[in-house]
Amino acid sequence: MTDPNAHPLAVIVRKLGQRTQLDQAETDVLIALPYRAASINTGDHLIREGDRADGCIALLSGFAYLSKIAGDGSRQILGIHLQGDLIGLQAALLHRADHSIQAMTPARVAYIPHQAIIAAAHAHPAIATALWRESFVDTSVASEWLLNVGQRDARRRIAHLLCEIALRQEATGACQPPDYVWPLTQEQVGDATGLTSVHVNRTLQALRADSLIQLSRQRLTITDWPRLRAAGDFSPAYLHLPALPHPVPQRLSA
């Protein structure tokens, strides 16, 4: 008997299990899903906008981001995915990817054929529920991003993004607060927040000067969580995280 936790897809099952109760049979079905594993370099495309994708992607390790290009060539980053996320499921039902997915760091991924996922979902209501729920969480995060970009100023937008990525990393258990991995270039932060990299640079400097964060070379340290959260108007409810590794206050009644 091999340890099921050593199985490549175990990361995915663990993630789904955080939000949806899965019994042994369902876990087994998920682990038994057919897949093709691959190692990906920074910047490589996992899915290209307009592609007719026939599989979704389980992100086994590393970071990836979704993006879309406007007519004038400017790019909007639509979301960021961490280890354990299942990406590109919508293409299973919409037939055409309407955004690109790229690796933000070197990454390990597993391609899973759509039909296998769909079949598992139809056979096990709990699996359908789990997948459906994850996609609603993605929508909820996208909504918060829209609010972020549409209504907040540069400082708040960036502080908010810092909080989100840090907290989601904590949820994966892959980091030791207050230290986090920060894989985004300043240009990517700009594309995620609707700002230019120049302005991102100046704003990050202001956050450093105010002793809210330290940030250099892919490493982020949040030196003052409460003030950063306030600066970013951040309240984590929209992430629908399961019990957090350590308590996080809800909304600050500003």
Partner DNA sequence: CGGGTCGTTGACTCTCATCAACCCTCGTGG
Partner DNA sequence: CCACGAGGGTTGATGAGAGTCAACGACCCG
Q: What is the closest distance, in whole angstroms, from the C-beta atom of residue 154 to DNA in the complex?
A: 4
What gap in Å lies between CA 210 and CA 78, rounded to an integer?
28
> With binding defined as CB under 8 A, does residue 122 bind a copy of itself?
yes
Candidate segments 100-108, 118-126, 179-187, 214-222, binder of a copy of itself by CB under 8 A:
118-126
217 phi-psi bin (left φ>0, alpha ψ -120 to 50, beta other): left
What gap in Å lies between CA 35 and CA 77, rounded to an integer?
27
Candidate segments 28-36, 118-126, 161-169, 179-187, binder of DNA by CB under 7 A:
179-187
Q: Which of a copy of itself, DNA, none binds 25 (CB below 5-8 Å, type-dependent)?
A: none
Which position among 15, 81, 99, 155 is part of the footprint of DNA (CB under 7 A)? 155
> With binding defined as CB under 8 A, does residue 199 bind a copy of itself?
no
Q: What is the closest distance, in whole angstroms, from the C-beta atom of residue 247 to DNA in the complex?
A: 31
Closest by CA position to 82, among listed 134, 145, 126, 119: 134
Q: State the number of binding residues for a copy of itself (CB under 8 A).
A: 49
Which residue lies nearer to a copy of itself by CB, 116 or 142?
Answer: 142
What gap in Å lies between CA 191 and CA 100, rounded to an integer?
14
Transcribe 6-27 into DSSP letters: GSTTHHHHHHHHHHS---HHHH
CA 4 from centroid of its chain's CA atoms? 24
> With binding defined as CB under 7 A, does residue 205 bind DNA?
yes
Q: Which of residues 75-104 bind a copy of itself (CB under 8 A)?
A: 75-76, 78, 89-90, 93-94, 96, 98-99
CA 39 from centroid of its chain's CA atoms? 18
Q: Rule CB under 7 A: which residues touch DNA?
A: 153-155, 185-187, 194-199, 201-205, 217
